[in-house]
Amino acid sequence: MAFEKALAEKDYAQACMLLAPRTREELKDSEKKPCGAALAGQGLSPGAGAPGRTQVYGRQALLRLPGDVLFLSQFADGWKVTAAGCAPQTGKPYRCTVKGG
Amino acid sequence: MNGRSETRKGSFWRDNSLTLVFGGAFLLVLAGQAVAGRAGFNENLAVDGMQQLTMGEYLMSSDFAVDVTENWQSEFLQFFLYIFGTVWLLQRGSPESKELHKAGPESDQEQRVGDHARTDSPRWAGTKDWRQRLYSRSLGTAMALLFVLSWLAQSIAGTAAYNEQQLRQLLPPVSWGAYLTSADFWDRSLQNWQSELLAVAAMAILSVYLRQRGSPESKPVGASHNATGVEG
């Protein structure tokens, strides 16, 4: 997955390009830094290996990788990450390190 | 209805105006629902910062499908219950009810089946085997089948639409089986059922006392309030 590959290569500018617009804006606003620098400070560990169960409904998807869970949404220029570094919480939304507003 | 076989032939449009007008109106209203539904759906997507849907994409979406099928299933359920229920259930004074002494499936003679079939009766009405039994219940069975298929479609489209919403809220998707026990599924189903049942009950009782001149759904204007099973 391109986003995980960019994280693994510490190419945060490229990883930012793969974030959904709202998520990118939220990251910049909350960290008061450019997206790449803000993303680098999040401590995201790239998931490695083949994706586990992927669930797609309409334009939304949940991608489980070894070491990371991502939420994605389909835009005109492809699938973008809406939330990354996510961990499940019983009866609540996933707790995600990076997410939209 | 007067029970006479209609042999007069008018124009195609006049002879089928009831089906054609309601069928045409259905398509227009469905198109209107698509326009309004897409606008509302896109408003929600904009709030969440998601990509807007084109009309073509919305027409193929689970959100549109569940909104359509949840209404279809309740309409077919209404007619299924009405058709089967009025075999046995009565309402004194209502043209929607059969006469009070006729509760039940009635005799073969009254129903013109088997040996009592006439030359212009449908072919399967004149048989004495499973074909007669099936044809004797074909209207209600068709409505029941359409209800089941629509409700199944609602449940499948509803699962997808619900899960799309779940994912937008960073919640895990649910299985079809779990969706069947969800509040969303039963809220969509029951809110439609209650309105259909209210409409049937209102029609049954209001038609006892109120009239619509010229409508077969009403008694003749001058008919007694006690006259049952009489259609105008």
Residue B48 structural domain:
12-60
Structural domains in chain A (count): 1
Q: Where are the alpha helices (DSSP H) in chain A?
A: 2-8, 12-17, 21-31, 35-40
B191 plus B143 within the same structural domain: yes
In a domain, B51, yes or no: yes
Count of domains observed in chain B: 2
How many pairs of residues across A and B have Cβ atoms under 8 Å apart? 60
Residue B216 lies in a domain: yes
> What residue numbers bound the domain in which A64 lies?
2-99
Residue in B53, B163, B169 closest to A57 by CB? B163
**Cβ pair B173:A59 closer than 8 A:** no
B189/B214 same-domain check: yes
Asked whether residue B36 is assigned to any structural domain, the reply reads yes
Q: Judge if B150 and B45 occupy the same domain.
A: no
Residues B50 and B74 placed together within one structural domain of the fold: no
Same domain, B179 and B231: yes
Cβ–Cβ contact B230 with A under 8 A: no
Say yes or no: B174 contacts chain A, CB-CB below 8 A. Answer: no
E-strand stretches of B2-108:
none
Please write the tens of the pLDDT for every residue from B36-52.
Answer: 999 999 999 999 999 99
The residue from B24, B39, B60 where one domain ends is B60
Inter-chain contact A62–B160, Cβ cutoff 8 Å? no
Whether A74 and chain B come into contact, CB under 8 Å, resolves to yes
pTM of the model: 0.91
A67-100 per-residue burial string, b: 16 or more CB within 10 A, e: under 16: ebbbbbbbeeeebbbbbbbbeeeeeebbebbbbb
For the record, the structure tokens of B104 come out as 């039940």
Residue pair B207/B94 in contact (Cβ under 8 Å)? The answer is yes
8-state DSSP, B5 = P
Opening angle at CA A46, ends A40 and A51, nearest 5:
150
Mean pLDDT by 10 residues, chain B (232 residues): 60 95 98 98 94 97 98 97 95 93 95 96 97 97 98 98 97 97 98 97 96 94 91 74
Give me the residues of B, 32-71, that contact A with CB < 8 A. 48-51, 53, 61-63
Same domain, B199 and B221: yes
In a domain, B83, yes or no: yes
